[in-house]
Amino acid sequence: MRIAIYPGSFDPVTKGHLDIIERAAGLFDKLIVVVLTNPAKTPVFSVEERVSYIRRIVEKLDNVETDCFDGLLADYVKLKGAGAIVKGLRAMSDFEYEFQMALTNKQLNPEMETLFLITSAEYMYLSSSIVRQLASFGADISRFIPDEIRDIIVERLRKAGK
Ligand code: PNS
């Protein structure tokens, strides 16, 4: 069975992430979307919230699972017996950071590959932080957040005053 891991902060998951999930799910027997800690970020949503939002939007995809892990991605990949990490690439600005992470992960676990899917053009400039910022100013975020979770995210960000 070919298993791939799609890791990220997903704070919150966006339509851009969902696009990568759907495309990656078509390439592997199983895709595990995993919420990990990015030490450079302070998330607004709890791990449980982020996992529950992802679960809701991947319900219709039979070969996609959602999980969380507090540790190194390379260890998680080993734990799950996966052969690949999938990442989405937007602008060139993503590249250097992703390149560094891919090479580091390869050092930690030489048996796995990192595969990059180029973002669909409509999501090129989309990010979770932009979504949080738009919502904080009361802007309509329906273009960026999957319908199933839009209302709960708007409400949650309003409460957080974010
Ligand atoms: O969505 P993000 O914040 O760009 O995702 C980054 C993430 C969470 C995948 C990355 O920070 C990560 O892999 N964190 C787990 C800890 C780890 O393995 N760090 C070493 C990466 S080289």
Q: Is 101 in the pocket of ligand 1 (CB under 6 A)?
A: yes
> Could you report the per-residue pLDDT of 130-153, keeping only the tens digit for each?
999 998 888 999 999 999 999 999
> Could you report the per-residue pLDDT of 104-123, keeping only the tens digit for each?
999 999 999 999 999 999 99
Q: Is 7 in the pocket of ligand 1 (CB under 6 A)?
A: yes
> Could you report the per-residue pLDDT of 13-67, keeping only the tens digit for each?
999 999 999 999 999 999 999 999 999 999 999 999 999 999 999 999 999 999 9
Q: Phi and psi (nearest 5°) for 48?
A: -60, -40
pLDDT of residue 159: 80
pLDDT of residue 91: 84
What sign results for the dihedral spanned by CA atoms 55, 102, 129, 17?
negative
Q: Name the H helices within 81-138.
A: 95-108, 128-136
What sign results for the dihedral spanned by CA atoms 157, 48, 108, 113?
negative
Cis peptide before 12 (omega within 30 of 0): yes
